[in-house]
Amino acid sequence: MILTDKRILEEMEKGTIVVSPFDRKYLGSNSYDVHLGKYLATYKSDILDAKLHNEIDHFEIPDNGLILLPHRLYLGVTEEYTETHAHVPFLEGKSSIGRLGIDIHATAGKGDIGFCNTWTLEISVKQPVRIYNGMPIGQLIYFEVDGEVLTSYKTKASAKYNTRTDKPVESMMWKNFLK
C-alpha cells in the first residue's frame, strides 16, 4: 500500500521518514516532490566497464540552465536528503519531466529500508532540453512493507552508497567483483 499525505506526515513526526529540506507545499496526496540539485556529473570515458571504477567529472548547473543532449548519460542529484526507516521509497519522474523527454532513472527507482542519503539520478533525454538547478524533477512514493526487516540498508556491510553527499555518485558495480 502507498502512504497518503497524512501518513507521510505522521511517519515524519515519528522519524521513520526524513526529508530535508522539507516544504509542505511539495507534499502531494500520496507523494513528495523532489528537486534537482546544483551538481551534475558525466563519465570521463565514453566506454564504461562494469569491472572497473569508472570515474566522473562533477560540474555545477549554471544559473541560466544547462542544455542536456541525447546519447549522453548525466548523473544528477536531488536537493533533498532523505531517510526511510520503515517503508520502501520509490522515486519516479514527474509527468511534466517525462513530457519534456527527460528520464531520471534507468533502473534504480526503488530505494531500500534504511537508505539515508540524497538520490543519484540517471538522467537521459530524448532531444536537447534545458534544465535548471532546483527544478522539480521527481516524486517519492512510500510503500508499506509486510514483515520485519533483519538488515536495513545503512547497516549492510555490502552497502555501497552510504556516504552522505550533495553530489551525484558514480556506479560502484566494480565493488561487486571484489571478493
For residue 62, the enclosing domain spans 5-146+163-177
Asked whether residue 155 is assigned to any structural domain, the reply reads no
Asked whether residue 167 is assigned to any structural domain, the reply reads yes
Does residue 122 have an active-site annotation?
yes
CA distance 168 to 165: 8
Asked whether residue 52 is assigned to any structural domain, the reply reads yes
Domain total in the chain: 1
Q: What is the pLDDT along the chain (179 residues), one digit of tens a residue?
A: 999 999 999 999 999 999 999 999 999 999 999 999 999 999 999 999 999 999 999 999 999 999 999 999 999 999 999 999 999 999 999 999 999 999 998 777 788 999 999 999 999 999 999 999 999 999 999 999 999 888 888 888 778 888 889 999 998 999 888 76
Catalytic residue among 122, 144, 148, 170: 122
Asked whether residue 49 is assigned to any structural domain, the reply reads yes
This prediction's pTM? 0.93
